[in-house]
Amino acid sequence: MPGRALLFDVGNTRLKWGLCDGGQLVRTGSIRRETLSSSGFSSLTSKLPHSVDVVLASNVAGAAFATRFAGVIGIHCGVDMRFAHSAREAFGVVNAYRQARRLGVDRWVAMIGARAASTGALCVVDAGTAMTIDAIDRHGRHLGGQITPGLGMMGRALASDTSDIGGVATTLRDPGQGMGLFANTTRRAVQVGALTAVCGAIERAVRAMRDEGLRPTIVLTGGDASRILKQLDGKILHCPHLVLQGLAFMLRNKE
């Protein structure tokens, strides 16, 4: 693996970056995409190192953004940016999609990172703008996945498609268990309802895997991971930088 690698996880809402030195993430950071739009790429590049050997990105922000971003980083670092792509089979993971490239690259790289972090069957959950859930058996075979609205998207959908709820922030203190999941204000009812919905989706996915004789570890990442972590039962591995870890693993084990 190259000595110093700059890694990027470009999502729908946020761009995360990490500096990998000797195979290990030594620095990380993030910036909202809307900040890049309003303040320009200098708001990001001012925080990035210049001297790196390779730049690798997972990008779900579209081709136009990728072209602009690659140009900016190429000038800043003097190194051409490479982009990860979903494959039929690589790094110990077998893609379930008939058209392998149609699987979101962020999900693909997250599965590679999860497989590197934990053995056995896995339920890989990325709780971001949208929440994705992917099942992997102990042999690394991807069994398929789910995509559902994330916490913020659920709240915005209720605000826009109903007349009386209005805007509701998704920030929520841990509601606890039992009757703490029932609210006495509309604002909190939406927050707890969204939280219950995403946790219920994860729990049902895990139950379906268990019904097939699998005993999955939940590998949890994404911006809302810390909000739902305490609500889940079972074996859970919280990996805030899972996509970056997957990119680092890909570089260390280039096939």
Which DSSP string do the residues of 143-200 spell out, in sequence order?
A: EEEEEEE-HHHHHHHHHHH-SSS-----------SGGGGS-SSHHHHHHHHHHHHHHH
- The C-alpha atoms of residue 88 and residue 100 are separated, in whole angstroms, by 5
**233 given a catalytic annotation:** no
Specify whether the CB–CB gap between 3 and 22 falls below 8 A. Answer: yes
Specify whether the CB–CB gap between 251 and 56 falls below 8 A. Answer: yes
Q: To 10 degrees, the CA torsion angle through 173, 179, 181, 182?
A: -110
- The C-alpha atoms of residue 125 and residue 134 are separated, in whole angstroms, by 7
Q: Which of 9, 21, 106, 134 is catalytic?
A: 106
The residue among 192, 201, 134, 190 whose CA lies nearest residue 160 is 190
Extract long-range pairs of 156-159: CB within 8 Å, 24+ residues apart: 158/190
What are the residue numbers of the active site?
Answer: 106
